[in-house]
Structure 1
Amino acid sequence: MRLALLGDFHYSSMSHGTEEMKAARVRAYEHMLEAFLKEEADFHISIGDLTHEGTAQELRSIYSILARSERNFIHVLGNHDTYSIPKHEISTLTGQDRYRAIDTPHAKLIFLDTTQEMNREDWGGELDGEQLAWLKDQLADSYEKQVLLFGHHPVFDTTARSTLDKLYVRPQDELKSIFNSRPEGGIYFCGHNHINSIVEQGKWHYVQTAACLDVPAYRVIEVHEGKVAITHRLIQGAGLIDDIQSFCSDMPGFGPVADALGEESDLILSIQLASAAH
Structure 2
Amino acid sequence: MLIAQLSDCHIATADDEFAKLYRPAEKLVEAARHVNSSVNRPDLVFLTGDLVNSAKRKEYDVLKEILPEFKMPVYLLPGNHDDCALLRAQFPDHDYLPKSGDLCYAVDGWPLKFICLDTNLHGKPQGFLGEEQLAWLDRELAVETTRPVVIFMHHPPFRTGLVSMDEMGLLDRAAFAEVIDRHDHIERILCGHLHRAIQKLVGGALAQCCPSTSHQVRLLLGEKNELGTAFEPPEYLLHYWTETDGLVTHSDYVKDYKIAWTLKDGVVS
CA RMSD of aligned residues (A): 2.7
CA shift, 1:14, in A, is 4.2
The C-alpha deviation readout for 1:66-93, integer Å capped at 9, x for no partner, is: 12444201011111122xxxx2332121
Q: Deviations over 1:125-178 (max 9, x none)?
A: 001222111101011112142110000001034x554882222x2322211100
Aligned to 2:166: 164
Residues 26-57 of structure 1: CA distance to partner in whole angstroms, max 9, x if unpaired?
54443233223444222111111121112111
CA contact (8 A) 1:160 1:193 kept: no
SS for the counterpart of 2:11 is coil
Q: Distance in 2 between matches of 1:201 and 1:31?
A: 33
Rate the CA distance shift 1:100–1:27 in 2: closer, same or farther, 3 A. closer
Contact 1:160 1:197 in 2 (8 A): no
Once residues 78 and 151 of structure 2 are traced to their aligned partners in structure 1, the CA distance between those partners, rounded to angstroms, is 14
Pick closer, same or farther for the CA change 1:49–1:161 going to 2, 3 Å.
Answer: same
Distance 1:237 1:228 in 2: 25
- SS at 1:200's partner residue? strand
Give the secondary-structure state (helix, strand or coil) at the position aligned to 2:82: helix
Does the aligned pair in 2 maintain the 1:5–1:220 contact within 8 Å? Answer: yes
Please report how far the alpha carbon of residue 181 of structure 1 lies from its aligned counterpart in structure 2 after TM superposition: 0.6
Partner of 1:125: 127
Match in the other structure for 1:234:
253
Deviations along 1:219-245, one digit per CA (max 9) or x if unpaired, are: 11111225111111111269xxxxxxx
Please list every run of at least 4 consecutive aligned residues from structure 1 whose deviation after the TM superposition is greater than 6 angstroms. Answer: none
Are the counterparts in 2 of residues 115 and 126 from structure 1 also a CA contact under 8 Å? yes
Query: Does the 8 A contact of 1:53 with 1:81 survive in 2?
Result: yes
Q: For the structure 1 residues 14 and 233, does the alpha-carbon distance in structure 2 shift closer, same or farther, using more than 3 Å as the test?
A: same
Does residue 75 of structure 2 align to residue 57 of structure 1? Answer: no
Q: Is the 8 A contact 2:33 2:69 kept in 1?
A: no
Relative to 1, partners in 2 of residues 1:139 and 1:31: Cα closer, same or farther, differing over 3 Å? same
What is the letter of the counterpart of residue 9 of structure 1? C
- Residue 221 of structure 1: aligned partner: 239
Q: TM-score, normalised by structure 2?
A: 0.75
1:88 corresponds, among 82, 85, 90, to 85
Distance 1:24 1:123, change over 3 A: closer
**Residue 100 (structure 1) aligned with residue 110 (structure 2):** no
Query: Which stretch of the first structure deviates more once superposed, 210-219 or 1-10?
Result: 210-219
Report if aligned partners of 2:55, 2:82 keep a CA contact under 8 Å in 1: yes
Q: 1:170 to 1:43 in 2, by over 3 A?
A: same
Question: What percent of counterpart residues are identical?
Answer: 21
CA deviation string 1:191-218 (max 9, x = no partner)? 1122211223563011111222224011
Q: For 1:129-148, what aligned pairs fall within 5 Å after superposition?
A: 129-148=131-150
Instruction: Report if the CA contact (8 A) 2:178-2:203 is conserved.
Output: no
Match of 1:11? 11
Distance (whole Å) between structure 2 residues aligned to residue 222 and residue 201 of structure 1: 21
1:195 is aligned to 2:192: no
Call closer, same or farther: CA 1:13–1:144 in 2, change over 3 Å. Answer: same
Asked if 1 retains the 8 angstrom alpha-carbon contact of 2:9 and 2:24, the reply is no
Q: 1:61 to 1:156 in 2, by over 3 A?
A: same
Q: How many residues align?
A: 228
Q: Distance in 1 between matches of 2:150 and 2:2?
A: 12
Contact 2:29/2:69 (CA < 8 Å) preserved in 1? no
Which structure 1 residue ranges, 5 or more long, are not aligned? 239-278
Map of 1:177 onto structure 2: 178
Q: Give the Cα separation in 1 of the matches to 2:205 and 2:60.
A: 33
